[in-house]
Amino acid sequence: MTGLVILIFVCTVFAAISQNRDSRTLHHHKKKASKDRVFFTILVGYMVIFAGLRTSYNDTDSYISTFMKTEPITNVFNGLNWDLGTNPGFKIFTSLIRTFTDNPNIYLMICSLIVIPLIVGFVHRYTKNFTLSMFLFFTMGYFLFCLAAIKQTMATALAVLAIQKLLDGKKLRYLLCLLLGTLIHPYCLMYLIAPILMKQIPWHKGTWFMLFLVAIVAYSFNFLVQTILDVTDIMGEGYNKETFVGEGINTFRVMVYFVPVVISFLWRKTLFEHTKRHENLFMNCTIVCALIMFVGMFGNANMFARLAMYFEPPIYVALPWMIYKLKGKVEGLFISIMAYIAYPAYFYYQTVMAKPFDLIYHSMSLGEFFNSLFQ
C-alpha cells in the first residue's frame, strides 16, 4: 500500500507541474512546452512501470496463466474463433507478444504501455485541471482497474482514442478504432452512441428519456434478463443468468458516481447554457456511467461495474470542467475542496476496508525485473 500511496502522491505532483507548464497556455514558449511533455512522460512512465511489475492482483493471475499457455502468432490463426465474445483481437495481441517472449511481466508492461498513455493522454488533452483529473483517476479507482481488467481497459483506451478522432471530424478513423477495440472486447461497441451524446445537451429531453428508460430497466430487470442473454449470445459471449443476477453494486459506490451527475443537475443552467460538443459528450458519458451503476444495484455487481467503467474516463474531464465553470462562485470552491476530501475517503474505503490492497497485490522489484530479462 505504501508504494501505491507514493505513486499517487508523485504522479499528482508531476501532474501539477505538467499543468503549470502546459503548452496550451504557454504555447509561445517552446522550451516550456517541451518540459511539459517531459513531466507528462515521467508521470505516465511511473504508472506503466508500477503496473508492469505486479505479479498478482485481481485477474492478473488469470491473464498471466493465459499468456503462458498462448501459442505463437504463427499458430494462433489455426481455428481462431472470430466471434466477438471470444475476444479474437486480444488473443492475436497476446499471441504476438508470446511469439517474442515468455516473460509475463514484459507482457504486462506492454499492456500497460498501451492502456495508460492512451487514457491519461485523452484526459490530459481535454481536461481543465489535469491535477484534479489525475487525482480522481487514482482515488476513484481507475488506475487499479487498469491492473485488474486488461481486456476491458485496452478496449476502453481504443474507445477514447476513437472519441478523439470523432471530435476531430475523422469519422472513418473513429469507426476503425471502435472496430479494433471491439475485437479486443465487444462492449467497446457502446461507444457507437457517442455521436448522439455529442449532440445532446445534458438535462434536455434526451437525458430525461435516459432516466425514464433506466427506471424501467431497473424495475423490470429480472424480466429482461433473458432478452439480455439473447443479445449476448448474438455477440458470442455465451453468458448465463448468474452472470447478470447476483449481489448488486454497493450503494455507497453508486452514490459516489452520482455526485458529478447531481452537481450537473443542480447547476445545469450555469453549466449548459453554452456548451461545446466535447463538453456535451463527456458530461453525457458521466451520466451514462452513473446510470449503469444504478442498474447494477439490481444485477451482478462485477458485471455492471465493469460495464460502467467503459464510460469512466470522461468523468475525469467532466468534473474538473464543471468546477472550472463554477469558479469564482462559492459553490465551485466548495465542490473543489470536497473533491479533495471525499474521494480519498472513498479510495480508503475501497482499498483498505472493502478489499485490502496489500492482501491481493504483489509485485517484483525493478531489479528483479531486469534480472528476469536475462534468464
* 237 and 369 fall within a common domain: no
Minimum mean pLDDT among 63-67, 134-138, 198-202, 218-222: which range? 218-222
Q: Could you tell me if residue 95 is inside a domain?
A: yes
Q: Is the confidence at residue 33, as pLDDT, over 70?
A: no
* 361 and 237 fall within a common domain: no
* 309 and 374 fall within a common domain: no
**Set of cell numbers at residue 369:** 525485473
| Rounded mean pLDDT, 45-56 | 97
50 strand-pairing partners = none
Where b means 16+ CB within 10 Å and e means fewer, 129-151 reads bbbbbbbbbbbbbbbbbbbbbbb
**Set of cell numbers at residue 147:** 491492473
Measured CA to CA, the distance from residue 283 to residue 197 in angstroms comes to: 9
Residue 60 pLDDT grade (very low, low, confident, very high; cuts 50, 70, 90): very high
Minimum mean pLDDT among 112-121, 291-300, 332-341, 358-367: which range? 291-300
* 307 and 365 fall within a common domain: no
| Report for 20-24, 39-43, 113-117, 352-356: range of highest mean pLDDT | 113-117
Which of residues 325, 340, 367 is at a domain's end?
Answer: 325
**Set of cell numbers at residue 243:** 452472470
Q: Could you tell me if residue 285 is inside a domain?
A: yes
| Rounded mean pLDDT, 16-24 | 75
Euclidean distance between the first and the last CA atom of the chain, given in angstroms as a whole number: 29
pLDDT at 329: 79
Q: Cβ neighbours of residue 77 under 8 Å, at least 6 residues apart?
A: 92
* 269 and 359 fall within a common domain: no
362 strand-pairing partners = 56
Measured CA to CA, the distance from residue 324 to residue 205 in angstroms comes to: 25
**pLDDT tens, 314-323?**
999 999 999 9
Q: Could you tell me if residue 336 is inside a domain?
A: no
* 3 and 144 fall within a common domain: yes
Q: Could you tell me if residue 315 is inside a domain?
A: yes
Q: Could you tell me if residue 68 is inside a domain?
A: yes
Are 197 and 210 in contact by the 8 Å Cβ rule? The answer is no
pLDDT at 67: 96
| Rounded mean pLDDT, 18-45 | 68
**pLDDT tens, 283-313?**
999 999 999 999 888 877 778 888 999 999 9
Nearest to 47 by CA among 127, 118, 98, 129: 118
* 7 and 59 fall within a common domain: yes
Are 29 and 144 in contact by the 8 Å Cβ rule? The answer is no
* 140 and 245 fall within a common domain: no
| Rounded mean pLDDT, 249-265 | 93
pLDDT at 315: 97
pLDDT at 169: 95
Q: Is the confidence at residue 239, as pLDDT, over 70?
A: no
* 223 and 130 fall within a common domain: no
State pTM to two decimals.
Answer: 0.90
**Set of cell numbers at residue 52:** 508492469
Q: Could you tell me if residue 191 is inside a domain?
A: no
> By CB neighbour count within 10 A (0-12 exposed, 13-18 middle, 19+ buried), where does 33 fall?
middle
Q: Could you tell me if residue 171 is inside a domain?
A: no
* 276 and 360 fall within a common domain: no
Nearest to 191 by CA among 164, 162, 169: 162
Residue-range definition of the domain harbouring residue 239 = 200-325
Nearest to 214 by CA among 304, 144, 145: 304
pLDDT at 226: 61
**pLDDT tens, 123-141?**
999 999 999 999 999 999 9
Arithmetic mean of pLDDT over the chain: 89
> What does the DSSP 8-state code read for residue 29?
-
Count of domains in the chain?
2
Counts for the chain of helices (H) and strands (E), in that order: 22, 2
Q: What is the 3-state secondary structure (H, E, C) of 221-287?
A: HHHHHHHHHHHHHHCCCCCCHHHHCCCCCCHHHHHHHHHHHHHHHHCHHHHCCCCCHHHHHHHHHHH
Which of residues 283, 304, 325 is at a domain's end?
Answer: 325
Nearest to 104 by CA among 153, 151, 51: 51
Nearest to 249 by CA among 308, 189, 311: 308
pLDDT at 31: 46
> What does the DSSP 8-state code read for residue 298?
S
Q: Is the confidence at residue 62, as pLDDT, over 60?
A: yes
pLDDT at 287: 97
Q: Cβ neighbours of residue 79 under 8 Å, at least 6 residues apart?
A: none
Q: 3-state DSSP call for residue 363?
A: strand
pLDDT at 19: 86
DSSP string, 51-106: HHTEEESTTHHHHHHHHHHPPPHHHHTTT----GGG-HHHHHHHHHHHHH---HHH
* 226 and 362 fall within a common domain: no
Opening angle at CA 138, ends 137 and 139, nearest 5: 105
* 2 and 144 fall within a common domain: yes
363 strand-pairing partners = 54
Q: Could you tell me if residue 179 is inside a domain?
A: no
| Rounded mean pLDDT, 72-95 | 88
| Rounded mean pLDDT, 163-189 | 96
Measured CA to CA, the distance from residue 54 to residue 60 in angstroms comes to: 8
Q: Is the confidence at residue 36, as pLDDT, over 70?
A: no
Q: What is the largest CA-CA distance in the chain?
A: 63
